[in-house]
Chains A and B, each alone.
Chain A
Amino acid sequence: MIRQDAHRIDPKRRATIDHKKRQFATPTYKQQDYPHRLNLYDTPPTAEITLEQFEQWAIDRLKVLAEIEACSYRNKSPAETESHITPLLSKFLPLSSNTAYPNGAADPRLKNERQKDHYSHFILRLAFSATEDLRRRFARAETMLFKFRFQKDDSRERRAFIESLNLDWEPVSEEERNQVAENLLGATPGLRRVDEETWYKVDWEKVAELVERRSVYMKRGKAYVPGREQLSMIMAEFTARLERSLELTSRALPRLDEDDRLTPILNHLSKNFGSAESVYSEGEGHVDGTAITASSIDSLSQHFPLCMRSLHINLRKNNHLKHFGRLQYTLFLKGIGLSLEECILFWRQSFKGKTDDEFNSQYKYNIRHAYGDVGGDVNRRGRGYPPYSCQKILGDNNVGVGQAHGCPYRHFSVDNLVGLLQSTGVHDKEVLRGVREDVGKQRYHIACNRVFEWSHKSEIKKVKEDGTWSQADLDTIVHPNTYFKRSYLLKTLAKAPPRGEA
């Protein structure tokens, strides 16, 4: 009665492969003829291209993606992004609609454009599927590119494209719509009349964000979605499919290990994209000629951006920081040039309540790990993690109770944020009002830069006037270490000349 051998496969249960069926099955790979301008990139390419094409196409697409990502880092508005990207797109990655040429979709030029778009996408997939981080960024940039193109698409072609996707959207009949009209009005924000929209019934799982915000009418597992949400649904579909296939690609990637033609190209490509993550490069935050020691952190903290300032204040107040706070702060301190020894000393002195044993057993390792001194594979760990960029800090969704890390502009309530700003000496009403506005619009960078510009306004004016700093030196700050360096330099410059004269 007891099945001792539960792991044995029942002979009748073994997967049976019917060779006959397999032989005539539709192949997963097929030649594509690109009837639409847009592409959900479901079918991988199969035709042959040269190695030069392979590299060139990938580089062209990468240029576009990197610019798109940079635009989003700099918080450009959609209109600004559009004007910035359009020329790049037509130069590197043109993609015309069917009406652009007299022959329509059959035109060879059109086909070439679409082929390049298609192939370059898949090449970059290979290059960017290796790590979780790269996958996420690639999917984000590709989604933005797709959205951009989707919005620019001619409405008739867009409809044809959507229809070709077989998205399982069931239109709601007029009769049914009238029956549930009241519910639709209640559930759908910003809607005045139900008859100004076409409605679709979809499985609620497809519009999970709408469900989560409770802004869609639900009935027995179906969500009633207005036509204008089409864009977000397609985007969701695009991202979901891309993320899934990137995951699959990453699992298949080891098979490329032996390949000595493509692997170097792919590695090179992913490294290039990698640079965008660190707008910051190694050692960039260091300030020359200043010895940064554990004891100087307190006085230097006036130059820290708010996220680090808040950590510092917290640390001094509680004599403790939780793990992610320590990590964020340690990496930042590493970035400003604090050596490992000094850093350990700094934390040791800061954790007043801990005994030496506690400190050594619970905290020291993590600090050394952050500096790349211990842990993991000696060859891979390099110099530990790079200091977190604003994007990384902003991307943390889980700042929990009692934790102090993250970006105050994003993770604090507005009142607490303003309180913190005031306690760090930002009293100007105009600035605080601007910050509130920025935060309301989720433009956290802008808020942070606004505070920076206000607190350094006389210095900035000065360097601009005497021309020692160009506009490029005063570009939007997107890294806490850049903030520190710029703040420090500006303040010391302001002090320097009188001392030099004296």
Chain B
Amino acid sequence: MPHSVSPAASPSRDDGELPDAPVDSATETGGVKLEDMFNDDDDEEFPASSAQDVKMESSPAPAPAASAAAPGTSGVDTDVMLAFYQRLFPFRYLFQWLNHGVIPTKDFGNREFALTLQNDAYLRYQSYPTADLFRKDILKMNPSRFEIGPVYSTNPRDRKTLRGGQMKPVSKELVFDIDMTDYDDIRTCCQGASICHKCWAFVTMAIKVIDSALREDFGFEHILWVYSGRRGAHAWVCDPRARNLPDDRRRAIAGYLEVLRGGSQSGKRVNIKRPLHPHVTRSLDLLKNYFAQTTLVDQDTFAGSEQAEKLLGLLPDKSLNEALKRKWDSSPDRPSTSKWADIDALAKTGKSSTLNTTTLRDAKQDIVLEYTYPRLDAEVSKKMIHLLKSPFVIHPGTGRICVPIDPRKADEFDPLSVPTVMELLGEIDAYDAKHPVGTQDAEMPDAEGSAMNGSDIKGTRKLQDYEKTSLKPYIEFFRSFIANLLKEERAVKREREETVPPVKADPMEF
């Protein structure tokens, strides 16, 4: 790769050009794309490890350029993607969220972003000093999605100029990842990538359990839940105390929240001691009703003989098990609810003399946990350097936006009604058609609308594009989340600024 090109030169040149470039023309988008490809090769920001990917991916480059209008590998059209970034993506809020303030600081400047380009090349260690540069680069690269990493001690772009070990992660939101694939062995409705309302209930209960533990036990307040775009949810705990946790403390939290241990082969996965820890007690209270509804009715988990066998394996008493097995074998279509009731019924009739009621109760509690307790991808939470998909990007497979979920209304959240990017763009057009006065507006914000906070432009308050769409409530929720976070940050910063003279704001910054 020609490394001689100065890295500073190419972005600034492109910065000048791009805003003026017309966006709705398919050929132009193709042109931009091609240019990006060349840029990639010049760009010396590639980590050594990904250089190989880039080379491999450069060869198919002419293809998307030739048929720019055709859907890219992602399933979402590249120019749809670009239009989304230009008109809808809340760059300004994302910046404020990560920057914890309005004036650009290291919290944002040293933050790692990792971009997945349309050709599936993966660019790590990107960073941006300001919201505007961030937006410009995203528009230029037009990534199919991007992820957010930690804040480093130095600018991640400078990492190659540093001696090994000098660039250290210093802070990142504490994150959690719930993915439906981990539930495949207990959901009967769908498998793999697909979801439906029935199995989304697992995510809902996971959100509730984790959210209440983080708030009540750990005292965190600023927890942002985000729909992952297909079949899961992410949590971003943004309290300053959480952001600065070292890895071993993160591991401690992950361990605290982990109830299911061992792989699918290890038999009984819940082995908790009695008396129950308050966290487990509370979770059990939350989960009991879900178990009755989701596991027993919606999923009808124990209907099949294989699953029923597994259930028996979790019960403690042999003679009870035999009695149950006989009963279930004689009526193969017995629904889960009845089977679950059978356990107590048979236990009461005293078919077994060895049965201890406490043991049975404990075993039943364990079963409820086994089938409903959140299954976290713990590795994501344990390491500060782990990258997680940014809120509000498009899931390339489904086209749905990764919108925030209000944990207080987690029950109402419907993943299948989350707007897709095509719907949103259609909504803008429909709105503009209805309000012909806004034709001017509709063109203007193209250039700067989604990035510049329209409400700050004094006098003429223009409607933002997102306000014309069903994305509005989600962005407003995000905005109020940030407002609460910043309120706390300001208190912290005020302390800091008592020692450091206050920074004069750039007059051009809002």
Contact with A along B273-308 (1 / 0, CB 8 A): 101111111000000000000000000000000000
Q: What residues of chain B lie closer than 8 Å to A189, measured between beta carbons?
A: 273
Q: For residues 100 through 147 of chain A, which have their beta carbon under 8 Å from a beta carbon of chain B?
A: none
Q: How far is the CB of B126 from chain A (nearest CB, A)?
A: 15
Q: What residues of chain A lie closer than 8 Å to B275, measured between beta carbons?
A: 185-186
Which of B12, B218, B255, B281: most chain A Cβ within 10 A?
B218
* A211-B252, A211-B255 known; A3 vs B129 contact (CB < 8 Å): yes
**Interface: A25 (CB within 8 A):** no
**Interface: A214 (CB within 8 A):** yes
Nearest A residue to B502, CB-CB: A12
Complex Cα gap A215–B109 (Å): 39
**Interface: A199 (CB within 8 A):** no
Q: How far is the CB of A206 from chain B (nearest CB, A)?
A: 10
**Interface: A471 (CB within 8 A):** no
Contact with B along A178-212 (1 / 0, CB 8 A): 00000101110100000000000000110011011
Complex Cα gap A72–B213 (Å): 38
Partner of A220 from B216, B251, B253, B273 at Cβ < 8 Å: B216
Partner of A13 from B249, B253, B503 at Cβ < 8 Å: B503
Q: How far is the CB of A222 from chain B (nearest CB, A)?
A: 7
Complex Cα gap A10–B253 (Å): 39
Instruction: Please determine whether B504 and A211 come into contact, CB atoms closer than 8 angstroms.
Output: no
Partner of B129 from A6, A186, A208 at Cβ < 8 Å: A6
**Interface: A49 (CB within 8 A):** no
Instruction: Please determine whether B216 and A219 come into contact, CB atoms closer than 8 angstroms.
Output: yes
Tally B residues with Cβ within 8 Å of A: 37
**Interface: B75 (CB within 8 A):** no
Nearest B residue to A190, CB-CB: B273
Complex Cα gap A222–B130 (Å): 37
Contact with B along A217-231 (1 / 0, CB 8 A): 111111000000000
Instruction: Please determine whether B216 and A208 come into contact, CB atoms closer than 8 angstroms.
Output: no
Instruction: Please determine whether B255 and A212 come into contact, CB atoms closer than 8 angstroms.
Output: yes
Q: How far is the CB of A91 from chain B (nearest CB, A)?
A: 37
Q: For residues 123 through 142 of chain B, which have their beta carbon under 8 Å from a beta carbon of chain A?
A: 129-130, 132-133
**Interface: A164 (CB within 8 A):** no
Instruction: Please determine whether A183 and B278 come into contact, CB atoms closer than 8 angstroms.
Output: yes
Instruction: Please determine whether B216 and A6 come into contact, CB atoms closer than 8 angstroms.
Output: no
**Interface: A1 (CB within 8 A):** yes
Partner of B500 from A13, A209, A214, A217 at Cβ < 8 Å: A13
Q: What residues of chain B lie closer than 8 Å to A217, measured between beta carbons?
A: 277-278
Q: How far is the CB of A199 from chain B (nearest CB, A)?
A: 15
* A6-B104, A13-B503 known; A209 vs B252 contact (CB < 8 Å): yes
Complex Cα gap A13–B103 (Å): 13
Instruction: Please determine whether A12 and B504 come into contact, CB atoms closer than 8 angstroms.
Output: yes
Q: What residues of chain B lie closer than 8 Å to A205, measured between beta carbons?
A: 245, 249
* A6-B130, A208-B248, A214-B255 known; A186 vs B504 contact (CB < 8 Å): no
Instruction: Please determine whether A212 and B104 come into contact, CB atoms closer than 8 angstroms.
Output: no
Q: How far is the CB of B210 from chain A (nearest CB, A)?
A: 14
Nearest A residue to B251, CB-CB: A212
Complex Cα gap A13–B506 (Å): 13
**Interface: B219 (CB within 8 A):** yes
Instruction: Please determine whether B276 and A221 come into contact, CB atoms closer than 8 angstroms.
Output: no
**Interface: A429 (CB within 8 A):** no
Q: How far is the CB of B65 from chain A (nearest CB, A)?
A: 29
Partner of A2 from B130, B253, B276 at Cβ < 8 Å: B130
Complex Cα gap A208–B216 (Å): 17
Complex Cα gap A108–B248 (Å): 43
Instruction: Please determine whether B273 and A211 come into contact, CB atoms closer than 8 angstroms.
Output: no
Instruction: Please determine whether A221 and B219 come into contact, CB atoms closer than 8 angstroms.
Output: yes
Q: How far is the CB of A481 from chain B (nearest CB, A)?
A: 32
**Interface: B327 (CB within 8 A):** no
Q: For residues 339 through 373 of chain A, which have their beta carbon under 8 Å from a beta carbon of chain B?
A: none
Q: What residues of chain A lie closer than 8 Å to B273, measured between beta carbons?
A: 189
Instruction: Please determine whether A219 and B217 come into contact, CB atoms closer than 8 angstroms.
Output: yes
Contact with B along A1-44 (1 / 0, CB 8 A): 11110100010110010000000000000000000000000000
Nearest B residue to A182, CB-CB: B278
Instruction: Please determine whether A3 and B130 come into contact, CB atoms closer than 8 angstroms.
Output: yes
Q: List 13 A-B contacts (CB under 8 A).
A: A3-B129, A6-B104, A10-B503, A10-B504, A12-B501, A13-B500, A185-B275, A186-B278, A186-B281, A205-B245, A211-B255, A214-B255, A217-B278
A-B residue pairs, 3 tightest by C-beta = A221-B219, A212-B255, A6-B129
